[in-house]
Chains A and B, each alone.
Chain A
Amino acid sequence: MRKYIVKRLLWSILILFFVSFLIYLLMRSLPSSYVETVARERAASNPQVSYKQWLERLNELYGLNVNPLQGFFIWLSQAIRGHFGDSWYYGVPVTQKFGSVIWYSFALGAAALIFQVALAIPLGIQSARKQYSALDYATTVFALIGISLPGFFFITILKMVFAVNLGWFDLNGIVGRMHDSYSPFRQFLDICQHMVLPTLNLVIIGTGSLLRYTRTNMLEVLNSDYIRTARAEGLSERRVINHHAFRNTLIPLVTIIGGTLPGLFSGALITETLFKIPGIGYTSYEAMLAGDIPFTMFYLTFMAILTLLGTLISDVLYAVVDPRVRVS
């Protein structure tokens, strides 16, 4: 097992190298760059120095006067040592900006995941046990609505109902207008209140697929021979479902959920942007729009690491929950 993990990690490093190289190439080939925007602004406000001159100076200042290949290796040699540079758009070190926004995203993702799992698994099991019942049809319809319709659609409806018509929540933002005057505890509650709608949205769009997974697996397990054996042994129906069947349903579920764990740090770009939550998704979206190469490089490489980590975690968890893949 250890050998396998080490091998997988070595492969991941190779993949990571090519991924970051591609991202860098793409960032350098974008039609507009941060430097050009700044040069245009400076040239407009200060006519003595022309746009061309500004561009040359800034290119040198930001290290863009080398070709993309050289530029990548310069970035890489810094990144390996943990120097990701300063964000051009935010003007602070990349890691500092990252550290200040990531926890909003993590809180949002974790809350959503907890609710998704808590909803999807019991509902999935129930609808499998009572296949073709009213409950089964109802959950299927709602799950498919959640899967099929885009997130921004629900966000609009949620805002319409809960923020505009009922007025229970603010339209967007992470803190209310009076945030600074509150006591620390009230401040925390304030943030929680602003997290409700985004979490609700993530739960709506994310629960469906997990629920369907649970239902399908449970159905398959319930029809298997060993469940019949368990019943023939005289075990109560509850024990058959909760122990024998659930343990087998868990195999695919754990690998799926385990694989999404690193995704807690990746942020929800659309939800965060539409709710103006200063999480990592929203922050990197702004950085990308501005052509902020250091921040984007850091964020996208970080995403690549999370993805690779996710597949590794789900593979390892597979071996943990299923004894059949454990040997050799």
Chain B
Amino acid sequence: MARKSKKSANYLSARTIRRTAKENRRITRQFEQKLNRKHVAPSEYATVMKDPANVLEVEDLKTYFFTDAGTVKAVDGVSFEVPRGKTIGLVGESGCGKSVTSLSIMQLLQRPQGQIVSGAIRLTQDHGQAVDITKMPIHAMEKIRGKDVSMIFQEPMTSLNPVFKIGSQLDEVIGLHNPDMDKDAVKKRTIEMLELVSIANSGAVYDMYPHQLSGGMRQRVMIAIALACSPKVIIADEPTTALDVTIQAQILDILRRLKDQINSSIVLITHDLGVIAEMADEVVVMYAGRIVEKGTVEEIFKHPSHPYTLGLMASKPVVSRHVERLYSIPGNVPNPIEMPDYCYFRDRCDRAFEPCYGEYPPMISLSPTHKVACYCYQQPADKKE
């Protein structure tokens, strides 16, 4: 039975694909029309933060990709909060929806296939106001990208436009969000930003093209671009993955220092638990588009609770411990098309028991800040570790 359904999931007839494509076009067109509207009253996407101490609140976010093979629920009901001045770590394997979550916050999803289907992303504005990014049309979104929320990407080698000089790319962002600045002031600010990210000969780098810089230098420029307008939230999508270890440490250092300097918050996406331990205040563990565990960094590292988090911890090399083979969680992240309604981790979990064959587990609080989605913790007294 299981094999049969697997086989039919892999084989799609041309007719099915055509039907899905047609249906998808119908759905995505509605979303697109909503996004492409020109004159939208700001009241339509105005909202208030649940907790004024937060700068970003993601609530029950659902981001789907409408592909010819079926609807991919890349992010399926994710909720987390980013308090002011704090760093939130998003962890998980590849394909868990970490990047899609961050791209949803930026509204940079691959459209028209990728759409935010429901949920809310509240971003704080000045004077106690807030906006809901999921309701914002593109036109309004452009105004807050780079200014209130900005992003550092994984691949510094290709993230800068190869035909423009470093200086002009930085000038562009600064000039765009500070229309009252004149040219000299913008240039001065650019040089200042380059110095802030520890680029020594900022004057020379100003006139260089991206290909003349190393990967680490380019990532510094990317950080300078992201931080140029002192955003409230910085999303760093695996900022150090493509860099070598010594540069990683420097980049993280710069990021941490500047975050405190401009008093913003960081959403740090990585699969490197070492980076999380060093940088994050709170950790969100994602698996197959859902949050399986979240808590403060101490809670997650001292008392990892979800079997998936435990697996992640076990698969991390530790200097003092000698092992023959590094642990790896058996199996793969399941196919995100047509997910079943039971714990997605069940088939890879060594602690699966009867309730796991029921519906998807709810979030269970272990402490006011520590929450986990696993049936192992449902009976409060005896099961707790």
Contact = CB atoms under 8 A, between A and B. Distances in A.
A321 B142 CA distance: 29
Interface in B46-100: none
A247 B165 CA distance: 13
A232 B211 contact: no
Given A224-B158, A323-B211, A233 B163 contact: no
B146 A321 contact: no
Contact of A234 (B163, B164, B177): B177
B102 to A, nearest CB: 10
A229 interface: yes
Interface stretch (B116-124, B147-155, B318-326): B147-155
Contacts of B177: 234
B108 A232 contact: yes
Range, interface on chain A:
20 to 34
Given A247-B164, A323-B163, A323-B211, A234 B158 contact: no
Contact of A226 (B106, B142, B159, B209): B159
Contact of B145 (A233, A247, A327): A233
A42 interface: no
Interface in A111-147: none
Contact of B108 (A228, A235, A236, A247): A228
Contacts of A230: 161
A234 B172 CA distance: 10
Contacts of B145: 231-234
A324 B161 CA distance: 11
B205 interface: no
A237 interface: yes
Interface in A235-257: 235-237, 244, 247-248, 251
Contact of B173 (A234, A237, A247, A327): A234
A133 to B, nearest CB: 10
Contacts of B108: 228, 231-232
Contact of B163 (A232, A235, A251): A251
Max chain A Cβ within 10 angstroms of own Cβ: one of B146, B147, B161: B161
B142 A234 contact: yes
A324 B209 CA distance: 8
B234 to A, nearest CB: 11
B160 A229 contact: yes
A324 B160 CA distance: 13
A228 B144 CA distance: 15
A324 B142 contact: no
Given A233-B173, A234-B176, A323 B162 contact: yes
A232 B102 CA distance: 11
Contacts of B176: 233-235
A235 B160 contact: no
A231 B177 CA distance: 13
A322 interface: yes
A327 B225 CA distance: 26
Contacts of A180: none
Given A234-B177, A236-B142, A248 B163 contact: yes
A228 B106 CA distance: 10
Given A224-B158, A233-B173, A234-B142, A322 B163 contact: yes
Given A225-B153, A324-B211, A235 B159 contact: no
Interface of B: 106, 108, 138, 142-147, 150-151, 153, 155, 158-164, 172-173, 176-177, 209, 211-212, 222, 225-226
9 contacts: A226-B161, A228-B108, A232-B145, A232-B151, A233-B150, A233-B173, A234-B145, A234-B176, A248-B161
Given A226-B159, A323-B209, 18 more contacts: A225-B159, A226-B161, A228-B108, A228-B153, A229-B159, A229-B160, A232-B106, A232-B145, A232-B153, A233-B146, A233-B150, A233-B225, A234-B144, A234-B147, A237-B138, A322-B162, A324-B209, A324-B211
